[in-house]
Amino acid sequence: MVAIDKRITRFVWYKAPLSLPLAVWKSNIRVVRVVNSVGSGFVSYDPTKSLNGLLTIQTGMVVELDAIGWENGGFTIDNGEAAPTGGVSDHGVLQGLGDDDHPQYFNAARLTQVLATANEANRNRANHTGRQDISTIEGLQAVLDGKAADMHLHTPLQVDGFTADQIGPGSPAGNLIAVMQWMLARDTGTPTPTQLTAPTGSQATALSTTSLNITASAVPNASSYKLLRSATSGGTFAQVGGALASPVYTDSGLSNATTYYYKWQTVGNGTTYLNSPLGVEFSGTTQTSTTTTALTDDTSNAATFTPESGSTREQWGFELLP
The predicted-structure confidence for 122-154, as pLDDT tens digits, reads as follows 333 232 222 232 322 223 333 333 433 333 222
CA distance 19 to 69: 9
Sheet of strand 238-244, all strands in order from the earlier edge strand to the far edge? 238-244, 224-230, 259-267, 282-285
d(CA 169, CA 150): 9
- 139 contacts: CB under 8 Å, gap ≥ 6: none
Tally of CB atoms within 10 A around 37: 11
Q: How far apart are CA 180 and CA 91, in angstroms?
A: 12
pLDDT at 264 over 60: yes
pLDDT digits 0-9 by tens, 5-54? 322 222 333 332 222 222 222 222 222 222 223 332 333 333 333 333 33
pLDDT value of residue 167: 27
Q: How far apart are CA 5 and CA 129, in angstroms?
A: 24
- Measured from the Cβ of residue 285, the count of other Cβ atoms closer than 10 Å reads 15
pLDDT-derived band of residue 213, with 50, 70 and 90 as boundaries?
very high
Residue ranges of domains in the chain, CATH in brackets: 2-187 (no CATH), 194-285 (2.60.40.10)
User: How far is Cα 290 from Cα 86, in angstroms, rounded to an integer?
Assistant: 95
Mean pLDDT (whole number) for 53-60: 32
Most confident of 27-31, 40-44, 186-190, 290-294: 290-294
Task: Let me know: does 247 contact 216? Beta carbons within 8 Å.
Answer: yes
Q: Are 47 and 30 in contact (CB under 8 A)?
A: yes
Evaluate if residue 196 carries a pLDDT over 60: yes
Check residue 248 and give its pLDDT: 97
* Mean pLDDT of the 211-236 span: 96
**Helices and strands (H, E) in the chain, number of each type:** 4, 20
The predicted pLDDT at position 225 comes to 97
Per-residue pLDDT of 225-258, as tens digits, reads: 999 999 999 999 999 999 999 999 999 999 999 9
Closest CA to 128 of 79, 168, 191: 79
What is d(CA 244, CA 241) in angstroms, rounded to the nearest whole number? 7
Q: What is the pLDDT of residue 289?
A: 86
